[in-house]
Each structure stands twice: as C-alpha cells, then as structure tokens.
C-alpha cells in the first residue's frame, strides 16, 4: 500500500501546484472588422480568416 514517508508541507504542495492555474485565452483584434477573436480562428463577426472571406455573411431581410 502506498503511504507517504513523511508529511508534505503546505508550501511544498502549493509550489508543486503553481503551474496548474488556468490561463486566459489569447484574444486578438480582427484586422478586417476590429472585433476581438481567438488567435488562429475565423472571426465570428465578419467571417474572415487571414484576410480572406471564409464564411459568407447572412443578408438581413
């Protein structure tokens, strides 16, 4: 049975967990419309990626 040989202090435990925090997603500004979008993703607002139209905009009726 696995039993620790000695107590792990709170400091040692927390130092081990220092890299486990969540990181905020890297947003960048769309060069076409200026809205915030995820890097390396199609812009949800205008449908452009890398200066090219990938998704056609819907016409409002």
- pLDDT of res. 25: 87
| CA 5 and chain centroid, separation | 39
- pLDDT of res. 18: 94
- pLDDT of res. 1: 83
- Residue with the two structure tokens 């890297």: 26
Dump pLDDT digits (tens) for 1-34.
889 899 999 999 999 999 999 988 889 999 989 9
- pLDDT of res. 61: 59
Dump pLDDT digits (tens) for 26-60.
899 999 899 999 989 999 888 888 878 888 766 66
Question: For residue 52, which phi and psi values (nearest 5 degrees)?
Answer: -120, 145
């Amino acid at each position: 049975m696995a039993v620790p040989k000695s107590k792990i202090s709170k400091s040692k435990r927390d130092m081990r967990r220092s890299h486990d925090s969540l990181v905020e997603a890297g947003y960048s500004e769309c060069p076409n419309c200026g809205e915030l979008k995820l890097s390396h993703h199609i812009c949800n607002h205008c449908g452009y990626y890398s200066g090219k139209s990938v998704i056609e905009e819907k016409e409002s009726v």
